[in-house]
């Protein structure tokens, strides 16, 4: 099955929802207009459709392998990564001064989605490298930036994030890797890190590991963690590679999905200690690592969207080709393609609406990031930063949870053939599961939404977003079309349910924290559903205007139909979530722990 990047939908979203024209008026982004976006996306689509996507099935069938400390990636990955790097894609969003292209996140996010749709396992290497670059840009010394960032942007080196240890998963206060100062500004690191994505591979000349560790006498808990650069090969002052460092891959994991991505166990210091270099100040490592984690969390949301798009395209193609049974309305005399059957259409529409809704939500969040980081007006930066921070757990949490739903539906559309590995639908389903787990599980995203993004300010940020949704409801009511009225009714009901939950969470966070956090994941799903549905409502209004102007009738009618479907079939889930959150805490707490 061939993959086709959804460039048209991405450009529509950038133009009408993310408002790329406004971002292009920010100093430094003057060239980042819709024409630039189209040129970049079309070239990105070409590379991924022709080079990266064809390797996806091969990566599942012939994954990365480990032998005597060396990891060989899937045949074709090394050559594809070279083309990716030579095309400048690793530096798309990074500063020009380090060799990047300095494009806004709004454009970069769309390219990231395309890459992940093409080949999720392959895309994980650039994702972690992006995170390492972001962390060094923020906390690295000038010398560290100059030494490590350009080779990563060029794709000659890649980056990793080393947090997890056998005894320290989500609770990083349990990190025990130690870093001993050597008196010359360097440290020797000793310890074991697990679940290290692309911690060893054959696609680049060097790997820049960013590692959390403790220095002697550091405070217990998360306040005593420092961040270190530990390169696979030591780097000479002129940038050339020196001796092999004492960090080695001792095994790779055998996984449910993303099999081509080597998930490594790294051992530091088995032969005298791995040489490391402190990033920033001692005991501030977790603060710096969260820069990587927040960038990665948003990117994982894009993984969910890309995987959903790939599964949807595959399901549509199969539904058009598979002949089975006579349609219930008799529209075809004999057996017909299953796309004629109402329930197959329901599944396909659900897949499409969820994917487009999450894409729109992520694009609008990216635009807020661009304004927050680059706009000359401090108030505009502050407002957009608050909005972006509110959206990150939704982009990560909701988009990955729906990818599990969408890829499951993709298997279901295929029927029995979906259960057969050779059709490829099962790979998308297996790959999707990890997205709800790594870079912080859905529950961790939901705890962040409850604690930091809602309870901390008494729901002020959440309710400010709700007022923006309400303004869209007014525009829908004023539109006067049947589709707009239908969407307005459902959007209003979902928004009111959201406001009721925000009030409940804000009130219960201190009074009864178990009750507040019992509803955390349903709250995240409600909020994500509403944010995606809000953007679909805005898309409907834009599509109606474009249709009235006589532009691209088929696309605009499809967008209107998809937005209405989202409102009538998906937004009502918000009401059930509201009821479970507001009225369901007591039943959750009723069971004695020993009764489980």
Q: DSSP readout, 175-225?
A: ---EEEE-SSSEEEEEEEEEEEETSS-SSSSEEEEEEEEB-TTPPSGGGG-
CA 345 to mean position of chain CA atoms: 27
Tally Cβ neighbours within 10 Å of residue 363: 29
Task: Look at residue 333 in the predicted model and tell me its pLDDT.
Answer: 86
Residue 46 in tokens: 């070409």
Q: What percent of the chain has pLDDT over 90?
A: 96
Mean pLDDT of 277-292: 92
Residue 377 — very low, low, confident or very high, per pLDDT cuts 50/70/90?
very high
Residue 275 — very low, low, confident or very high, per pLDDT cuts 50/70/90?
very high
Q: Is residue 11 part of a domain?
A: yes
Question: Is pLDDT at 129 greater than 90 in this prediction?
Answer: yes
Question: Is pLDDT at 565 greater than 90 in this prediction?
Answer: yes
Question: Is pLDDT at 185 greater than 90 in this prediction?
Answer: yes
Q: Is residue 362 part of a domain?
A: no
Residue ending a domain, choose from 283, 315, 341 = 283
Of the candidates 10, 26, 8, 29, the one whose C-alpha atom is nearest the C-alpha of residue 18 is 10
Pairing of strands 178-181, 247-252: unpaired
Question: Is pLDDT at 173 greater than 90 in this prediction?
Answer: no
Q: What are the residues whose beta carbons fall under 8 Å from the beta carbon of 169, sequence distance 6 or more?
A: none
Q: Is residue 356 part of a domain?
A: no
Task: Look at residue 291 in the predicted model and tell me its pLDDT.
Answer: 80
Q: Is residue 567 part of a domain?
A: yes
167 and 138 share one domain: no
Domain of 97, CATH number, reads: 1.10.540.10
Residue ending a domain, choose from 283, 316, 349 = 283
For the chain, the domain total comes to: 3
- Angle 285-321/342-374 helices, nearest 10 degrees? 150
What are the pLDDT digits (tens) for 528-555? 999 999 999 999 999 999 999 999 999 9
Where is 275: in which H helix or E strand? strand 274-278
234 and 144 share one domain: no
Whole-angstrom distance, CA of residue 492 vs CA of residue 262: 46
Residue 481 — very low, low, confident or very high, per pLDDT cuts 50/70/90?
very high
240 and 127 share one domain: no
Task: Look at residue 1 in the predicted model and tell me its pLDDT.
Answer: 65
Catalytic residue among 309, 389, 439, 546: 439
162 and 131 share one domain: no
Query: Known catalytic residue: 421?
Result: no
Q: Is residue 322 part of a domain?
A: no
Q: Is residue 382 part of a domain?
A: no
What are the pLDDT digits (tens) for 332-376? 889 999 999 999 999 999 999 999 999 999 999 999 999 999 999
pTM given for the model: 0.97
11 and 42 share one domain: yes
112 and 260 share one domain: no
Residue 252 — very low, low, confident or very high, per pLDDT cuts 50/70/90?
very high
Q: Is residue 304 part of a domain?
A: no
Task: Look at residue 4 in the predicted model and tell me its pLDDT.
Answer: 98
Domain that holds residue 588: 443-596
> What average pLDDT does the structure give for the chain?
97
Mean pLDDT of 446-459: 97
Task: Look at residue 169 in the predicted model and tell me its pLDDT.
Answer: 86
Q: Is residue 391 part of a domain?
A: no
148 and 172 share one domain: no
Task: Look at residue 170 in the predicted model and tell me its pLDDT.
Answer: 86
Residue 558 — very low, low, confident or very high, per pLDDT cuts 50/70/90?
very high
Question: Is pLDDT at 424 greater than 80 in this prediction?
Answer: yes
Residue ending a domain, choose from 224, 254, 283 = 283
């Amino acid at each position: 099955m061939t993959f086709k990047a959804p460039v048209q939908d991405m450009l529509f979203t950038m133009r009408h929802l993310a408002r790329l024209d406004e971002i292009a008026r920010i100093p430094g982004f003057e060239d980042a207009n819709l024409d630039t976006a189209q040129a970049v996306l079309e070239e990105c689509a070409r590379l991924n459709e022709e080079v990266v996507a064809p390797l996806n099935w091969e990566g599942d069938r012939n994954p990365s392998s480990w032998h005597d400390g060396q990891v060989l990636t899937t045949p074709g990955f090394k050559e594809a990564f070279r083309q990716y790097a030579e095309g400048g894609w690793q530096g798309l969003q990074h500063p020009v001064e380090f060799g990047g292209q300095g494009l806004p996140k709004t454009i970069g996010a769309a390219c990231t989605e395309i890459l992940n749709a093409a080949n999720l396992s392959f895309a994980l290497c650039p994702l972690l490298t992006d995170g390492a670059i972001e962390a060094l840009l923020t906390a690295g010394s000038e010398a560290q930036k100059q030494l490590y960032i350009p080779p990563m942007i060029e794709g000659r080196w890649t980056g990793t994030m080393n947090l997890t240890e056998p005894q320290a998963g989500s609770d990083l206060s349990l990190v025990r890797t130690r870093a001993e100062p050597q008196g010359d500004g360097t440290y020797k690191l000793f310890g074991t890190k697990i679940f290290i994505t692309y911690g060893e591979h054959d696609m680049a000349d060097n790997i820049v590991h960013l590692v959390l560790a403790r220095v002697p006498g550091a405070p217990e808990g998360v306040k005593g963690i420092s961040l270190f650069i530990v390169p696979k090969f030591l780097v000479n002052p002129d940038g050339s590679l020196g001796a092999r460092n004492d960090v080695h891959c001792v095994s790779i994991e055998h996984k449910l999905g993303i099999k081509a991505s080597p998930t490594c166990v790294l051992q530091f210091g088995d032969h005298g200690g791995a040489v490391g270099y402190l990033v920033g100040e001692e005991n501030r490592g977790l603060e710096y690592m969260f820069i990587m984690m927040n960038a990665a969390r948003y990117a994982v949301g894009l993984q969910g969207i890309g995987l959903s798009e790939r599964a949807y395209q595959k399901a549509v193609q199969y539904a058009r080709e598979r002949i089975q049974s006579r349609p219930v309305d008799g529209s075809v005399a004999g057996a017909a393609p299953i796309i004629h059957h109402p329930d197959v259409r329901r599944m396909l529409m659900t897949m499409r609406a969820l994917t487009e809704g999450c894409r729109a939500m992520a694009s609008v969040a990216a635009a807020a990031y661009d304004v927050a980081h680059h706009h000359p007006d401090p108030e505009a930066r502050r407002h957009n930063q608050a909005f972006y921070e509110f959206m990150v757990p939704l982009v990560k949490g909701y988009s990955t949870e729906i990818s599990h739903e969408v890829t499951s539906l993709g298997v279901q559309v295929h029927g029995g053939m979906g259960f057969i590995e050779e059709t490829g639908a099962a790979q998308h389903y297996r790959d999707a599961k990890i997205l709800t787990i790594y870079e912080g599980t859905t529950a961790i995203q939901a705890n962040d939404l409850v604690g930091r993004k809602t309870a901390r300010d008494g729901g002020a940020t959440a309710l400010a977003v709700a007022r923006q949704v309400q303004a869209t409801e007014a525009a829908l009511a004023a539109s006067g079309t049947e589709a707009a009225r239908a969407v307005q009714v459902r959007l209003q009901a979902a928004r009111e349910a959201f406001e009721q939950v925000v009030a409940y969470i804000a009130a219960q966070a201190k009074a009864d924290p178990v009750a507040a956090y019992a509803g955390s994941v349903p709250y995240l799903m409600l909020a994500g559903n509403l944010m995606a549905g809000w953007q679909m409502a805005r898309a409907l209004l834009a599509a109606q205007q474009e249709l009235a102007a006589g532009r691209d009738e088929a696309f605009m009618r499809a967008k209107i139909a998809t937005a209405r479907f989202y409102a009538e079939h998906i937004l009502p889930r918000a009401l059930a979530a509201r009821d479970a959150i507001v009225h369901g805490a007591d039943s959750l707490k009723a069971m004695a722990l020993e009764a489980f």
